[in-house]
Amino acid sequence: NLDIRVDIPSNDEIGSLGKAINDLAIEINRYRSNRSEFFANVSHELRTPITYMKGYAQVLKQNLYQTEEERLHYLTIIESETERMVGLINDLFDLSKMEEGKFDLHMTTLHLTDVLESAFFKVKMEFEQKGILLNSYFEENVPAIEADGDRLEQIFINLLGNAARYTERGAVNVQVWHEDNQVNVVIEDTGIGIPEEELSFVFDRFHRVEKSRSRELGGTGLGLAIVKHLVDLQNGSISVSSQVGKGTRFQLSFPQAE
């Protein structure tokens, strides 16, 4: 820790200067510990798939398997861990550009419901495989918004993917309506929910409510951090509410196009 705290000698300008220095020291220390925590997380997330890949490659190399089925199983693990690593690296790359303010968007005037339909099509399989219903309730004649179609779709795919991932049975309901020059979307599931004390952290990178479960289900812990950046970059807002055992609700709002 950077130890530059100073005593505050008086209540005048010198005192204010001392206070400013102390605030700065707190800020610098927070930044430093965030940064080292971030690197520790990245190393951990990269080490895990590599450990699997290395282990199973050795098993295959030394012919330590009995059946052809077993051999294919190990190859499948190596393949999926490689995919996870590529995904993680792509996410990290995007996130670092976003945090530096260097992430480019291609804004156009579009209808959010069209983007949602296209996202539905892409996540359909996941829902069908788990037997979860995907219902949509779109208001008619919802105004257009200014957004980057691909990035908006990425947001929806991510939120819908999470909704499917953290739901065992029931349905995911998607609602779209407009009000006060805003176009609103709600994505609500009947899943495991998020404890109250965790809610304010879900948009932090690498924050997971239950680490092992999220990993088993294929998560990296970066999805919602990226979603939050993408929403902000498109002048929108996002909020979350949840009840453990009942479900989770994400609400997004975007200003309607002029």
173 forms part of the interface with ligand ADP (CB under 6 A): no
CB 227 within 8 A of CB 237: no
Q: Nearest approach, Cβ of 83 to ligand ADP (angstroms)?
A: 14
148 forms part of the interface with ligand ADP (CB under 6 A): no
**DSSP bridge partners of 118:** none
> How many other C-beta atoms are found inside a 10 Å radius of the C-beta of residue 250?
24
Considering Cα of 119, then 123, then 125, then 128, what sign does the dihedral take?
Answer: negative
208 forms part of the interface with ligand ADP (CB under 6 A): yes
Which member of 248, 252, 253, 254 binds ligand ADP (CB under 6 A)?
Answer: 248
CB nearer ligand ADP, residue 95 or residue 107: 95
CB nearer ligand ADP, residue 190 or residue 253: 190
49 forms part of the interface with ligand ADP (CB under 6 A): no
94 forms part of the interface with ligand ADP (CB under 6 A): no
CB 226 within 8 A of CB 174: no
CB nearer ligand ADP, residue 49 or residue 223: 223
Place of tokens 């976003």: 98
Considering Cα of 115, then 137, then 182, then 185, what sign does the dihedral take?
Answer: negative
CB nearer ligand ADP, residue 114 or residue 168: 168
191 forms part of the interface with ligand ADP (CB under 6 A): yes
Q: Nearest approach, Cβ of 156 to ligand ADP (angstroms)?
A: 13
Which member of 173, 214, 234, 253 binds ligand ADP (CB under 6 A)?
Answer: 214
